[in-house]
Amino acid sequence: MTQKATVQDAASENNTGSPPRPELGPVELELAGVSKVYQARLGLVEALSDVNLSIRRGEFISLVGRSGCGKTTLLRILSGLLPPSAGSVRANGQSIWKGASRDDEALKQVGLVFQEANLFPWFTIVENISLPLKLRGVDRKARVARAEELCELVGLRGFEGAYPRELSGGMRQRAAIARALSARPSILLMDEPFGALDALTRDKMNLELQSIHAATGATVVFVTHSISEAVFLADRVVLLTPRPGRIRSVTSVPLVRPRSVETETGVEFGRIVRGLRVELDEES
């Protein structure tokens, strides 16, 4: 399968022909010719091949594709956890990777949320949220104030002194999102953060994330297996082919924000979801 759509910027043509939101800023994340090859026990595994994508400041991008298509691998490369085998990755003009070495200065603007909350059980919620600030040498008063501000933002007011075991799965994930936002990153990377939640909680978290995105103005790259979730949240949905992962298509989502639960019953929403499902089925 050849790459169907390579995006030079958010104003490029896409599946719907719709322009980007006018409030989006300049290009903040740029991937050029990114490939990744693993050395596995049985030989080389090509996870990603020639991925090219530009993401504008404040944009919400969803990554979808079949299991094993390289979504998480791509996110790990963006987050500085895994070097690419080829190509370049730039955040605000700074190269995240120089060969196999990452640029920690460039990564200061990046926050990361995993599928599991991964909170420290012996820390309170405020202590968990403020931990990145503590590691950066921020004084206690300032980091507690920031953590309390984030508790308000993510709907955890009143639970600042609670421990992770005292919270539901959705609340723990809110705390993980708040922790990722503690140092005010301009880029937020999310690897299936709601995948382990029940359907009702997941829907609620999607609404919360939409509000957080609007409040912070962060650029978001969101990995999910759910096409409906991808379309509900995103400005653009990037569909990856099965291994090796290449960009098959980039679909604009010109739905008015803020979006509500009723958005999913709309004609345009259904049209976009069906189109992506057809493309996904073609990759079988």
Domain 1-109+185-284: give its CATH code: 3.40.50.300
Q: What tokens appear for 258 in the block?
A: 């803020």
Q: At CA 176, angle to CA 119 and CA 52, rounded to 5?
A: 125
pLDDT of residue 284: 65
Q: Are 178 and 153 in contact (CB under 8 A)?
A: yes
Q: What three-state secondary structure class fits 78?
A: helix
Tens digits of residue pLDDT in 62-85 = 999 998 899 999 999 999 999 999
User: What letter would DSSP give residue 207?
Assistant: H
Tens digits of residue pLDDT in 29-62 = 999 999 999 888 888 889 999 999 999 999 999 9
- List per-block mean pLDDT (blocks of 10 residues) for the chain, which spans 284 residues: 38 38 79 92 89 96 93 94 94 90 90 93 97 94 96 94 95 95 95 89 92 94 96 97 94 95 94 95 77
Rounded to two decimals, what is the model's pTM? 0.88
Q: At CA 102, angle to CA 142 and CA 121, rounded to 5?
A: 45
**Is the bond leading into 244 cis (omega within 30 degrees of zero)?**
yes
Say if residue 241 is exposed, middle or buried (CB neighbours under 10 Å; 0-12, 13-18, 19+): buried
